[in-house]
A and B are shown apart, each in its own frame.
Chain A
Amino acid sequence: AQKITQTQPGMFVQEKEAVTLDCTYDTSDQSYGLFWYKQPSSGEMIFLIYQGSYDEQNATEGRYSLNFQKARKSANLVISASQLGDSAMYFCAILSPPLSGSARQLTFGSGTQLTVLP
């Protein structure tokens, strides 16, 4: 079984500053994928970034980067130059194993509510 832990229920950041959202995971699989999703107040789930367990480089997507530390089983999301529109709930999730064509459910953490202050 997989487990995701997000220990920060809420975070505040000043506009234009960087912020790190923590995520640790637990899995016994060697091959897995890690994801971050953003859920604004409107409710939709927006995919942000993906990191495969065998990827040697940290994933980056625009202002989003994933600080992947495999030995520590952590996959923190870094948002650079925060914007007011970044205020939302952020979920970390794990998919294991990622290449299976069969059952491939995502396991989510409890989320971090990020508020960007002007």
Chain B
Amino acid sequence: DSGVTQTPKHLITATGQRVTLRCSPRSGDLSVYWYQQSLDQGLQFLIQYYNGEERAKGNILERFSAQQFPDLHSELNLSSLELGDSALYFCASSVDHYGYTFGSGTRLTVV
């Protein structure tokens, strides 16, 4: 157990729908990062939050949004889902320069 908790582990939904992925960082970590891993794009950085504030944005679509709550858990909201959004979505957290600790991921399948 890495200490970073992601729920749900698997999600199957239809095109056009909206889903919410949840992440609880390791205790003490203030930063939360979201990554998307797809077969054609590899691992892509989506967004970072630090202590409740958005700190960096990567290749995140306008249909996607995220937030970090006062208890530091984070949610990634994906709307108007398309088949191409099917991917493994990772959350990671960090406190220092020794990189991230990743959660086990949420596998999203859009049908």
Residues of A at the B interface (CB closer than 8 Å) are: 33, 35, 37, 42-47, 50, 52, 91, 93, 95, 98-99, 101-108, 110-111
Q: Decide: A105 near B97, CB < 8 A? Known: A43-B88, A44-B2, A111-B42.
A: no
B48 touching A99, Cβ below 8 Å: no
CB pair A44–B48 under 8 Å, yes or no, is no
* Minimum Cβ distance to chain B for residue A49 (Å): 10
Given A33-B99, A43-B88, A98-B97; A105-B105 close (CB under 8 Å): no
Which residue among A45, A93, A104, A110 has the maximum number of chain B CB atoms within 10 Å of its CB? A45
Q: Is the CB of A105 within 8 A of B102?
A: no
> Which residue of A45, A102, A110, A111 is within 8 Å of B102 (Cβ)?
A45
Give chain A residues whose Cβ lies under 8 Å from the Cβ of B56: 102-105
Verify B107–A43 contact, CB threshold 8 A: yes
**Among B43, B98, B104: residue with most chain A CB under 10 A:** B43
On whether the beta carbons of A47 and B100 are closer than 8 Å, the reply is: yes
**How many A-B pairs with Cβ below 8 Å?**
58
Chain A proximity of B18: nearest CB distance (Å): 23
B74 interfacial contact with A, CB 8 Å? no
Q: Are B100 and A108 in contact (CB under 8 A)?
A: no
Beta-carbon contacts under 8 Å, B30-57 to A: 31, 33, 42-43, 45, 48, 50, 55-56
Known: A43-B88, A43-B107, A44-B104. A105 touches B33 (CB 8 A): yes
- Which B residues are in CB contact (< 8 Å) with A91? 43
B98 touches A50 (CB 8 A): yes
In the assembly, what is the distance between CA of A35 and CA of B2, in Å? 17
Whether A102 contacts B98 in the complex (CB less than 8 A), given A43-B88, A44-B2, A44-B104, comes out as no
